[in-house]
Amino acid sequence: MKCFAKLAAAVWMLLCLCACKAPEEPVHDRQVFAMDTVMVFKAYGGEYETALEEAEQEMQRLDDLLSRTKEDSEVGRLNSAAGEHVQVGDEIQELLRSAAIYTESTNGAFDITIAPVVAAWGFTTDSYQVPEPAELESLLQTVGMEHVHLDADSTWLDVGTQIDLGGIAKGYASDRVAEIYHENGVVQGTAALGGNVMALGTKRDGTPWRVGVRDPRNSGDANAYAAILNLTDSFAVTSGGYERYFEENGKTYHHILNPATGYPADSGLLSVTVVADCSERSHGNGALCDALSTALFVMGEEQAVEFWRSNGYPFELLLVTEDGRVVVTKGLSEQVEQMEGSGYIYETVS
């Protein structure tokens, strides 16, 4: 099911983004498997070949650095050190610091220390199970960014605490791709890292890139969309329960967990898409979109919209709700194409 979802996502991205290529264009794209995801990159202008090569190498480097399942990655070394100080590079320290900021600003809805709970549900290994409530209760004692310690020259986790960057790593990776494109003078292009999309500049004909938001009620159909976003210079990151889940005794359990309970978030949302600027003047918006899409999925519609209204972060939102609505924030509404026949009711909030 997981593999199917990844394949479907890859095919979907290819369909959605490749459909836009002018026939006379030489091929300017690259497909990479990294971070457990099929990634597709397209780049036009400047040193596009160098950009694609560097982007591919960068994805492999980040996989080696951030993978939870590679024992010698920096994340793997931190997780297995059980209370010991570990020498890690500045990059991971900085990423952990920004993760801590997102934990604080989302009141704990985004929390990378949810790792042991993710593992207890089997989402790390794909051998799924429903943990006993007592096990969850005990694991939740190890959850919280106060268990992550960052010193100038070393980093350590309290005994029992583990980290899982699955909710932010691909967004961070898409920030790196944006930087690589900018450095190489690439002015138009896309990067699709699973549900994390970067759409730089416009399509070749000057019109916006068209990025499909999957229809979570038809997640088996890679061509079923809840909406299409017409985007220029934007990251668009989607979190949804349909991306990874299992069923047991007629109940569905998905991979986005509420750190307050240890159970899959049950907030009335089917997916959350966060959109923000990816132009050269933006910095870190890929990671921002990724962390927030996970957190706002946990929070639910009311809190997510309130967060959008009151928080200073520069982003827009598209929410797909369980009761069949597509809720879009005002700044994005003109870029949303409604899908006739999808059965959704479209609403704009301001």
267: nearest Cα among 299, 296, 239: 299
For β-strands 37-44 and 29-34, DSSP reports them as antiparallel
> Any contact of residue 166 with ligand AMP (CB under 6 A)?
yes
Q: Are 271 and 213 in contact (CB under 8 A)?
A: yes
The distance of closest approach from Cβ of residue 211 to Mg ion in the complex, given in angstroms and rounded to an integer, is 16
Of 36 and 277, which CB lies nearer to ligand AMP in the complex structure?
36
The distance of closest approach from Cβ of residue 10 to ligand AMP in the complex, given in angstroms and rounded to an integer, is 15
For β-strands 325-329 and 345-349, DSSP reports them as parallel
DSSP 44: E
Q: Are 120 and 172 in contact (CB under 8 A)?
A: no
Of 63 and 290, which CB lies nearer to ligand AMP in the complex structure?
290
CA distances in angstroms from 265 to 73, 208, 240, 251, 296, listed in the order given = 29, 33, 10, 14, 10
Give the x-and-dash track for 27-46 against ligand AMP (CB under 6 A).
Answer: --------------------
Give the x-and-dash track for 152-171 against Mg ion (CB under 5 A).
Answer: ---------------x----
Residue type, position 341, single letter: G
Out of 211, 255, 315, 335, name the contact with ligand AMP by CB under 6 A: 255
Q: Are 252 and 245 in contact (CB under 8 A)?
A: yes
Q: What crossing angle do the helices spanning 90-105 and 285-299 adopt, rounded to 10°?
A: 40
**What is the distance between the alpha carbons of residues 101 and 203, in angstroms, rounded to a whole number?**
34
**What is the distance between the alpha carbons of residues 144 and 115, in angstroms, rounded to a whole number?**
10
**What is the distance between the alpha carbons of residues 299 and 307, in angstroms, rounded to a whole number?**
9
The distance of closest approach from Cβ of residue 137 to ligand AMP in the complex, given in angstroms and rounded to an integer, is 17
> Any contact of residue 111 with ligand AMP (CB under 6 A)?
yes
> Any contact of residue 316 with ligand AMP (CB under 6 A)?
no
Of 170 and 210, which CB lies nearer to ligand AMP in the complex structure?
170
Give the range of 89-97, 105-113, 129-137, 182-190 binding ligand AMP by CB under 6 A: 105-113
| Site size with ligand AMP, rule: CB under 6 A | 20
Q: Which does 110 bind (CB under 5 to 8 A by kind): Mg ion, ligand AMP, none?
A: ligand AMP
Q: Which does 257 bind (CB under 5 to 8 A by kind): ligand AMP, Mg ion, none?
A: ligand AMP
Q: Residue 61 corresponds to which tokens in the numbers above?
A: 């480097």
Q: Residue 313 corresponds to which tokens in the numbers above?
A: 């972060």
Q: Which does 166 bind (CB under 5 to 8 A by kind): ligand AMP, Mg ion, none?
A: ligand AMP
> Any contact of residue 239 with ligand AMP (CB under 6 A)?
yes
**What is the distance between the alpha carbons of residues 195 and 181, in angstroms, rounded to a whole number?**
20
**What is the distance between the alpha carbons of residues 80 and 114, in angstroms, rounded to a whole number?**
15
Where in 277-336 is the site for Mg ion (CB under 5 A)?
Answer: 290, 293-294
Q: Which residues bind Mg ion (CB under 5 A)?
A: 167, 290, 293-294
Q: Which residues bind ligand AMP (CB under 6 A)?
A: 110-112, 114, 118, 123, 164, 166-167, 239, 243-244, 255-257, 259, 290, 293-294, 298
